[in-house]
Each structure stands twice: as structure tokens, then as C-alpha cells.
């Protein structure tokens, strides 16, 4: 944290920074962090929620504690708790911006993304309802939905794919692009910002051609990823012994 503070001071001389780590899953830590910010700065003008984890796998393979509960608590519950902690201060001032960082997985859910997508779909609904709740107080709610970003999030999960499928490089956002988009959205809040923009027609097509898309995903991804297990299941059904997975 000291290194981060020094870096920020070097980039913005004369401004005050107060980096503090806390666990968004723990309500006591969330409220303590917000209280500390209030004491230090007297108010909160902007909240950006971006804490998240990505553990992608088929549901029956996910660890219940980390893969299911942990993802939901971090990606969705943590965001809600943090927003709830900040909101009364913004209502008092009749001003503020809440910027929620979601994902395109909140619009289209893919295999192995069941829990991750559930948290992001939940975030879309949360943002929509919250925006309509707090507008009367002069508070803006903006939702940012980026596609794949060039970070280590979910890298281990994706590396295990048998098919080797990856997001095409032209569709991968850099961390700098995401940072610039968030800064722009903070200055000019709007309901939803989706990036990369070229994904908009893709999402439109997927939603309207659900059955063909489902077939393609099953044929070229799911069946290939689970080929060993499907073979073992057929062997057992035929009275043989299941083959061992590598």
C-alpha cells in the first residue's frame, strides 16, 4: 500500500491519497473503510466497484466454498455491501456517482461461466434498480460492461481448456483501455457503457439466434471439453469399466 501511495503521489503531486486494503466480503471491514474515508476527506463523490474473481469451470466441478460462495460474495454481495455503505453519505449531499464494473458475461452466459455469469447478471439488475432508486437524490449510477481484459483474471481456468479456445486478440481490451473508459464514465456518467463496441452486434445476434448458438457451443466447446467424461459414461452404461482421466 505504501508503494501504491508513493506512485500516486508521484503522478499527482499535491493531492492526497489514502490506499487501504479490505475484504469486500466482510461487512465490518467495508463499513470501517468507508468511515475512514469519510474522516479523511469529509465526503465521497465517486465510488468505483471493481473487486472480482473468476473461477471458470463446469458447475459439477466447482468447489462449493471458493468456486460458488466465494465468487458470489466477492463479485455481487461485496459490491452491494460497499454501495450500501457509501449511499447514505451521497444521499446526505444530494450528489455522487456510483460506477459498477460488470462484464459482458452479464449479458451472455457461456459454459463454465455459470456462477461468474450469475454474479454479473445480478449486477446488471442491481445497477438498473439502483439507478431508478437514487436518481431523486442527484446520484448517478453507471454500469460498465467490458469484454475480455488482458489480465490474469481466470487465466488458470482458461489454461485448462482442452480446446484451447481463447478470445480473439482484436477483441481483448488492455488494462489501459479499461482505465480510460472508467475515467470517462466517471466524468460523464451514463446508464451503460459496453466495450469493445464491435461486440454489440454479436450480443444482439446471440440473443436472437439462441437455438443455433446453443448448438454451436455444445458441438464445438462443451462436447470437446468433456469428451473423456462422456466416453467414460458410455462405457459404464455399456457394462464396461470407466476409462481413467489423465
What are the catalytic residues?
116
In 3-state terms, the chain is what percent helix, strand and coil (to 5)?
60, 10, 30
Supply φ then ψ for residue 173, to 5 degrees: -85, 145
Q: Give the C-alpha separation, 37 to 92, whole Å.
A: 16
Question: What sections of 135-226 are H helices per DSSP?
Answer: 155-159, 175-187, 199-208, 210-217, 223-225
Helix 78-93, helix 114-134: angle, nearest 10: 10
Question: What sections of the chain are H helices per DSSP?
Answer: 2-11, 27-41, 71-72, 78-93, 114-134, 155-159, 175-187, 199-208, 210-217, 223-225, 227-237
**Residues 26, 156, 122, 22: what is their CA dihedral angle, to the nearest 10 degrees?**
20
CA distances 72 to 26, 67, 244, Å, are 13, 9, 33
Amino acid at each position: 500500500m505504501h508503494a501504491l501511495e508513493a506512485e500516486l503521489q508521484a503522478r499527482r503531486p499535491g493531492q492526497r491519497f489514502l490506499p487501504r486494503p479490505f475484504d469486500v466480503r466482510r461487512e465490518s471491514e467495508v463499513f470501517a473503510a468507508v468511515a475512514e474515508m469519510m474522516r479523511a476527506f469529509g465526503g465521497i463523490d465517486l465510488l468505483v466497484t471493481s473487486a472480482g474473481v473468476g473461477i471458470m469451470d463446469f458447475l459439477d466441478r466447482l468447489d462449493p466454498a471458493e468456486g460458488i460462495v466465494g465468487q458470489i460474495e466477492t463479485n455481487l454481495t461485496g459490491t452491494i455491501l460497499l454501495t450500501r455503505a457509501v449511499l447514505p453519505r451521497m444521499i446526505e449531499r444530494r450528489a455522487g456517482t456510483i460506477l459498477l464494473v460488470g462484464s459482458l458475461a452479464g449479458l451472455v452466459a457461456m459454459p463454465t461461466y455459470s456462477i461468474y455469469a450469475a454474479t454479473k447478471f445480478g449486477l446488471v439488475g442491481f445497477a438498473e434498480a439502483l439507478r431508478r432508486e437514487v436518481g431523486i437524490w442527484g446520484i448517478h449510477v453507471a454500469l460498465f460492461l467490458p469484454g475480455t481484459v488482458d489480465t490474469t483474471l481466470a487465466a488458470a481456468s482458461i489454461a485448462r481448456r482442452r480446446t484451447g479456445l481463447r478470445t480473439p486478440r482484436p477483441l481483448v481490451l488492455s488494462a489501459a483501455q479499461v482505465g480510460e473508459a472508467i475515467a470517462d464514465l466517471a466524468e460523464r456518467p451514463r446508464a451503460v457503457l459496453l466495450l469493445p463496441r464491435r461486440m454489440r452486434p454479436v450480443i444482439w445476434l446471440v440473443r436472437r439466434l439462441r437455438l443455433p448458438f446453443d448448438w454451436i457451443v455444445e458441438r464445438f466447446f462443451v462436447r470437446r471439453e468433456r469428451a473423456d467424461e462422456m466416453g467414460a459414461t458410455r462405457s459404464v452404461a455399456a457394462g464396461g469399466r470407466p476409462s481413467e482421466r489423465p
